[in-house]
A and B are shown apart, each in its own frame.
Chain A
Amino acid sequence: MKTYQEINDRIASGKAVVMTAEEIIDYVDSKGLQAAAAEVDVVTTATFGPMCSSGCTLNFGHSKPKIRMTEAWIEDVLAYTGLAAVDVFMGATQLRHNDPANMYPPGEFRYGGGHVIADLVAGKELQLFALSYGTDEYPLREIRTYFTIDDLNQATMVNPRNCYQNYNVAINRSEKTLWTYMGKLEPNAKNVNYCSAGQLSPLLNDPLYETIGVGSSVWLAGARGHVYAEGTQHAGDCERNEHDIPTGGAGTLALTGDMKQMLPEFVRGVSLVGYGVSLGVGVGVPIPILNEGVLKRCCIRDEQIVAPITDYSSDYPNATGNVLGHVNYKELKSGQIDFDGRQIPAGSLSSYSKAIKIAELLAAEIRSGDFLLSQPYVMMPADTNMKPLKVRDKTT
């Protein structure tokens, strides 16, 4: 048994033993669980992929004369201004003004909120255009100027939903090509796409939310971030297999971090033909090895994690909940899976190679004594479910 304080003391003294969630598997195999649990302090987990529920709050500071922005666009992408005079919120899936969307399907969606966020982190100069109705103390009614992230007082990323514990494997059994947020799905079940880092993914290494909770420190695209809440659609009360691994979506994390500290490599604008824009984000989450049970669950392997094959031509859009079967991540990562007695190719929307890189970067930061862990002060619920939106008449 170790405490957070003991682990942090070892990190601070530069003596912490840190391994990635990939390295730990063979290590525990050779050393044995008990000996490894006594020796290893932290296991690093990571994921990189489109994280649709993402955005950022930006504070511009005040112009002379002052303006109370009521509508604002950054690079022609609408930002939400209903916060304060010069605070705006930029959402990752917001389209650029005049984007034809799916008017001539499938649309291209070349630029949007996710690209604005990526461009900000990359240090690019962007245009701000804002309007106002004018008030006594904020008389300016229109402003057009250029800025970089360095000109902003604060640029804070917020991901209300990140690190989905597990995810659907998308297939298309219809006779036409589908263009979805899970990528291009060929007709007649000719391919599947998945989106998870599998054995490296944060919540698959802490499936029962024993260490990752509200207040946990995370590596968010290179910045020191933290979990600020359970993620939206968090549904810990779910079907689990014999390894406690959810067989579907399940848990999520809400994350935040300072964009000024982020690395452009891990913040990317996403354009999904036929679907829209989003943001690709890289996240690393350290897991403190408090006891043997925590370590045992960090030793999860791709072949022990299964994901539900879901038809995006009918079952997904109609929310039937029907699942065509399950497939494990070892098969998915091989590039081919067996479906209905046929071998079909499997593609990914999540970058495992980036996840490996992030897990190694975070491990190096912890080893060097730079990155301390924080004890969560609220644990995430394992007994809540995701509610559907009911269409109903007014009840009162």
Chain B
Amino acid sequence: MSEPTTRKLMLFFPKCECEKPIIYLLVKDYDLVVNIFRAKVTPEEEGYLVLDVTGTEENIDRAVEFIKTFNVQVNETGKGLTWDENACTGCGHCVVHCPTYALHIPDRSTMAVAFDAEKCIECLGCIRVCPYGACTSAF
């Protein structure tokens, strides 16, 4: 058995696939631990799901193939929350309101703002507090 690993997945559900209990099957058939950040799954509408899955590499790969059989788009590189470094002026207003310190000031002498995407849980709090529109959501 290989070591468990965690991968972030962004799923887009076309209109017709929303009824299928995909997440349940990921847990039951592929032995994955799921941690859902954001979801919008409404019958008769397109939906999305942003989640972390933890399990063996093989199981995650198989699970991704399984999800794709439902005509669900799987984005393994895309971020639901994007921080635009050029739009950011580095004021630091967001930093206080970021619960996981994904937005942070690494060096208090230069006060430049940095974004650690790995730590972002997509609470979207930064989108409202940024005066310069530096943070945007993919959906």
Q: Does B97 contact A (CB under 8 A)?
A: yes
Also in contact, A353 and B112, with CB within 8 A (given A183-B129, A271-B133, A273-B128): yes
Q: Kindly identify, within residues 349 to 373 of chain A, every residue whose CB is under 8 Å from any CB belonging to chain B.
A: 349-354, 356
* Contact call A353/B93, Cβ cutoff below 8 A: no
User: Which residues of A sit under 8 angstroms from B94, Cβ to Cβ?
Assistant: 347
User: Which residues of A sit under 8 angstroms from B128, Cβ to Cβ?
Assistant: 184, 273
User: Which residues of A sit under 8 angstroms from B90, Cβ to Cβ?
Assistant: 351-354
Q: Count residues on chain B whose CB falls below 8 Å from chain A CBs.
A: 20
User: Which range holds the interface residue count of chain A?
Assistant: 20 to 34
**Candidates A269, A272, A273, A353; contact of B110 at CB < 8 Å:** A353
Q: Does B22 contact A (CB under 8 A)?
A: no
Q: Does B14 contact A (CB under 8 A)?
A: no
Q: Which of B96, B108, B113, B128 has the largest count of A CB atoms less than 10 A from its CB? A: B96
Q: Does B102 contact A (CB under 8 A)?
A: no
**Candidates B112, B113, B129, B132; contact of A184 at CB < 8 Å:** B129
**Candidates B92, B95, B131; contact of A280 at CB < 8 Å:** B131
Chain B facing A: main interface SS: loop
**Chain B residue at minimum C-beta to C-beta distance from A278:** B131
Q: Which of B94, B111, B129, B133 has the largest count of A CB atoms less than 10 A from its CB? A: B111
Chain A facing B: main interface SS: strand
**Chain A residue at minimum C-beta to C-beta distance from B96:** A347
* Contact call B113/A334, Cβ cutoff below 8 A: no
Q: Kindly identify, within residues 316 to 348 of chain A, every residue whose CB is under 8 Å from any CB belonging to chain B.
A: 333-335, 345-348
Q: How many A-B residue pairs have CB under 8 A?
A: 71
User: Which residues of B sit under 8 angstroms from A269, Cβ to Cβ?
Assistant: 132
* Contact call A272/B95, Cβ cutoff below 8 A: no
User: Which residues of B sit under 8 angstroms from A229, Cβ to Cβ?
Assistant: none
User: Which residues of B sit under 8 angstroms from A222, Cβ to Cβ?
Assistant: none
**Chain B residue at minimum C-beta to C-beta distance from A111:** B133
Q: Does B91 contact A (CB under 8 A)?
A: yes
Kindly provide the distance from the CB of B114 to the nearest chain A CB, expressed in whole angstroms.
10
* Contact call A351/B89, Cβ cutoff below 8 A: yes
Kindly provide the distance from the CB of B123 to the nearest chain A CB, expressed in whole angstroms.
13
Complex interface bits, B96-123 against A, C-beta within 8 A gives 1, otherwise 0: 1100000001001011110000000000
User: Which residues of A sit under 8 angstroms from B112, Cβ to Cβ?
Assistant: 353
* Contact call A270/B96, Cβ cutoff below 8 A: no
**Chain A residue at minimum C-beta to C-beta distance from B104:** A335
* Contact call B91/A351, Cβ cutoff below 8 A: yes
Q: Does A268 contact B (CB under 8 A)?
A: yes
Additional A-B contact list (9), CB under 8 Å, known A191-B96, A270-B132:
A184-B128, A184-B129, A193-B93, A335-B105, A346-B96, A347-B94, A353-B110, A353-B111, A356-B111
For this complex, 17 residue pairs linking A to B, each with C-beta atoms less than 8 Å apart, are A183-B129, A183-B131, A184-B129, A268-B132, A270-B132, A280-B132, A333-B108, A335-B105, A335-B108, A345-B96, A349-B93, A351-B89, A351-B91, A351-B92, A352-B92, A353-B112, A353-B113
- A-contacting residues of B (Cβ < 8 Å)? 89-97, 105, 108, 110-113, 128-129, 131-133
